[in-house]
Amino acid sequence: MRHRRSLTAVVAAVALAVPVIVATSASATTVRTTRAAGPAAPAAGLAAPEITVTDVKAHLSQFQSIAAGNGGNRYAGSSGYTASVSYVEQKLRAAGYAVTRQPCTSCTAQSANLIAEWPGGDAQQVLMLGAHLDSVRAGPGSNDNGSGSAGVLQVALALAQHNPTMTRRVRFAWWADEEQGLRGSNYYISRLSTAERTSIKGYLNFDMIASRNAGYFINNISTPLAASLKSYYDRIGVATEENVEGVNRSDDASFRNAGIASSGVAAGASARKTAAQAQKWGGSANAAYDPCYHSACDTTANIADVPLGRAVNAMATAVWSHAVGDSTPPPTEDSFSLSVSPFSAVVAPGGSATVAVSTVTTSGTAQPVRLAVSGAPAGVSAAVSPSSVTSGGSATLSVSVSASVAAGTYPLTVTGTGASATRTARVTLTVSTGPPAGCGGVSAWTASQAYAPGDKVSHLGRLWNSTWYSTGAEPGVPGSWAVWSDAAGPTVTVTTGAALAQYAGTNSPYTILVSGR
């Protein structure tokens, strides 16, 4: 994918004004703007405006009021969700946006995505920003994901207010039904033509950006698309990390799996902050980033102003860096990414498995990539076919385990060597002692059945516990973590030779047990 602004231009574009959060508590809202040291400021219009926490929290208060008046939540398909869509749409139309409600026929109650596009800029060079607008049923979802939705809305309003010269088209999205399996964003992607999909040069996702025990995470942090987000945090002296917890758990996965470069910002969900992170960022070690994750207490009182302010200003920095200013920015260097799906497989002796190997052109033009695999122990054959692809293409890693291989875990490394770089991805091969146990007399999952917390079902050869209310949310597929947990751990079973495409994702949370029968 072609990114027309180089990293040098990105840095120049944000050097004029850098919003710096000076508050130290979760309730403080003070923000000031400082001038960065260095050469003369770029031409007017290239610097991102300051986005204030007060403005963002005004939208959050509206989302809270909407939930309070509609059963306490903004669940997809509910009156609270529909009212949230109406609120955002009214703000955007008043600001001059072209706004479309896209009914999602595969979403809960056919809830709608909301898409808004700002006129100007190259329509074949689209930068998208998005956040899911739905909450779980347990509460109003102020952090998950009122924070991301409000932040994206305020940046969209700031773009309209300043009305700068655009080099790219900017499109904003508020997704339906993320909590039931990324349904809104998947539906949007599935309805794009090849030309429409190709025109989207990058997607930035913002999900849970105001966690009280915040971490500072960037999706795909080493990619060119993430550079402007990271440059903002670097400039204010805040260290960032790769968003490992959020992989495949939010709407950026829909775009990445479609071959579209993606990044974004998150402050953390239910995972626990490490001691090293607490020393680096403050907060409490061995405590969840968001103590009210998927709970009734996820109200506006659960919002931390400091990470919220930083995230929305990083968001604005990215928009102005990639889409505002000089109409003839230089191209970025050619680059590509490499991923595997699934990233682990359990095979009984005498069995076999296949793993999908995918490449994506992340910037510049496509390039030839040579593929190879290493690390296979004696008795295990592993090969990638085809052995060479053009970035954007896919291959298959085939693994066969002889009957004599001892049980154990063996790391395999897939290497892609291109003209500009070398990328690697790891597949963890576990040779088991035999196929897993069955699920006894537990009833099989059905798409039409309504499930409540505590219900148990069998599916894909596993026993699953319901952790939330759902209908049609299939256990064991990406996104099902929100409502199902595997009673025996994050593992699913497929038969040798079965399609593994439904478990797509570089870091799928599921171990794939491949039966040798």
Q: What is the mean pLDDT of residues 187-193?
A: 95
Q: Can you tell me the distance from the alpha carbon of 414 to that of 289, in angstroms, rounded to the nearest whole number?
A: 33
State the amino acid at position 391 in one-letter form: S
384 and 371 Cβ atoms separated by less than 8 Å: yes
pLDDT digits (tens, 9 = 90+) for 11-61: 333 333 333 333 333 333 333 333 232 222 233 336 899 999 999 999 999
Are the C-beta atoms of 168 and 200 separated by less than 8 Å? no
Residue 257 and residue 358: Cα distance in Å, rounded? Answer: 9
Q: Which residues are catalytic?
A: 178
| Local structure of residue 506 (DSSP, 8 states) | T
Per-residue model confidence (pLDDT) at position 500: 39
The strand pair at 456-459 and 112-118 is best described as unpaired
Does 434 have pLDDT greater than 60? Answer: no
C-alpha dist (Å) from residue 132 to 56, 166, 176, 182, 268: 16, 26, 6, 9, 15
Q: What average pLDDT does this structure show over 473-494?
A: 59
Tokens 């849970």 label which residue?
208
Token output for 127: 């930068």
Tell me the mean pLDDT in the region 182-203: 95
Cα separation values, 229 from 10, 149, 169, 272, 313, Å: 10, 17, 19, 24, 9
Is the bond preceding 145 in cis, omega lying within 30 degrees of 0?
yes
Which pLDDT belongs to residue 332? 56
With pLDDT > 90 as the criterion, what percentage of the chain qualifies? 59
Q: Give residue 264's pLDDT.
A: 98
442 pLDDT band (50/70/90 cuts)?
Answer: confident
Integer Cα distance of 458 and 25 in angstroms: 46
User: What is the amino acid identity at position 66?
Assistant: I
Domains, in order of start, for the chain: 7-323 (3.40.630.10), 335-435+495-515 (2.60.40.10)
Contact by Cβ (8 Å): 360, 261: yes
- Is residue 472 very low, low, confident or very high in pLDDT (cuts 50, 70, 90)? low
The band of 358, judged by pLDDT with boundaries at 50, 70 and 90, is: confident
* Six-digit token string for 495: 């038969």
Q: What is the mean pLDDT of residues 116-139?
A: 95
Residue 393, token pair as written in the block = 């293409």
pLDDT level of residue 244 (50, 70, 90 thresholds):
very high
Inform me whether the pLDDT recorded for 451 exceeds 90: no
pLDDT tens track for 304-340: 999 999 999 999 999 999 999 754 444 456 778 777 7
Res 488: pLDDT: 56
Radius of gyration of the chain (CA): 23
pLDDT of 46 reads 62
Q: Nearest-CA neighbor of 502 among 481, 469, 474, 483?
A: 474
Show Cβ contacts of residue 328 under 8 Å, excluding neighbours closer than 6 positions.
none
CA distance 397 to 413: 11
pLDDT of 250: 96
Q: What secondary structure letter does DSSP report for 111?
A: -
- pLDDT, residue 455, reads 84
Q: What are phi and psi of 226, to 5 degrees?
A: -80, -10
Separation in Å, CA 100 to CA 83, 92, 93, 126, 323: 15, 10, 10, 16, 21
Selected residue with higher pLDDT from 454 and 175: 175
| Residue 17: CA count within 13 A, CB half-sphere | 16
User: What is the structure's pLDDT at 255?
Assistant: 95
- Amino acid (one-letter) located at 430: T
Report pLDDT digits (tens) over 386-412: 999 998 899 999 999 998 888 888 889
Instruction: Please determine, for residue 385, whether its predicted confidence score (pLDDT) is greater than 50.
Output: yes
Distance, CA of 424 to CA of 407 (rounded, Å) = 25
Model confidence at 287: pLDDT above 90: yes
Task: Return the number of other C-beta atoms located less than 10 Å from residue 457's C-beta.
Answer: 20
pLDDT > 70 in the chain, percent: 78
Output the CA torsion sign for 92, 96, 100, 101: positive
CA nearest neighbour of 158 among 3, 335, 307, 17:
17
pLDDT digits (tens, 9 = 90+) for 61-115: 999 999 999 999 999 999 999 999 999 999 999 999 999 999 999 998 989 999 9
- Average pLDDT along the chain: 81
Q: Helices 53-68 and 148-162 meet at what angle, rounded to 10?
A: 130
Average pLDDT over residues 136-150: 97
Copy the structure tokens of residue 417: 């060597």
Choice among 10-19, 38-47, 267-276, 353-362 with the minimum mean pLDDT: 10-19
Handedness of CA 119, 120, 123, 128 (dihedral sign): negative
7 compared with 102, residue with greater pLDDT? 102
pLDDT at 389: 94
Q: Which of 52-66, 123-137, 296-310, 438-452 is predicted with the least confidence, judged by mean pLDDT?
A: 438-452
Q: How much is the average pLDDT of 443-454?
A: 74
Cα distance between residue 242 and residue 220, in whole Å: 6
Q: What is the model's pLDDT at position 50? A: 92
Q: What is the pLDDT of residue 36?
A: 30
Q: Are 472 and 180 in contact (CB under 8 A)?
A: yes
DSSP category for residue 504: -
Structure tokens at 425: 């991805």
Cα(45)–Cα(320) distance, rounded to whole angstroms? 8
Least confident of 107-121, 180-194, 403-417: 403-417
Please report the pLDDT score of residue 347 as a whole number: 81
Distance between first and last Cα of the chain: 42
Alpha-carbon span 258 to 229, nearest angstrom = 22
| pLDDT, position 477 | 61
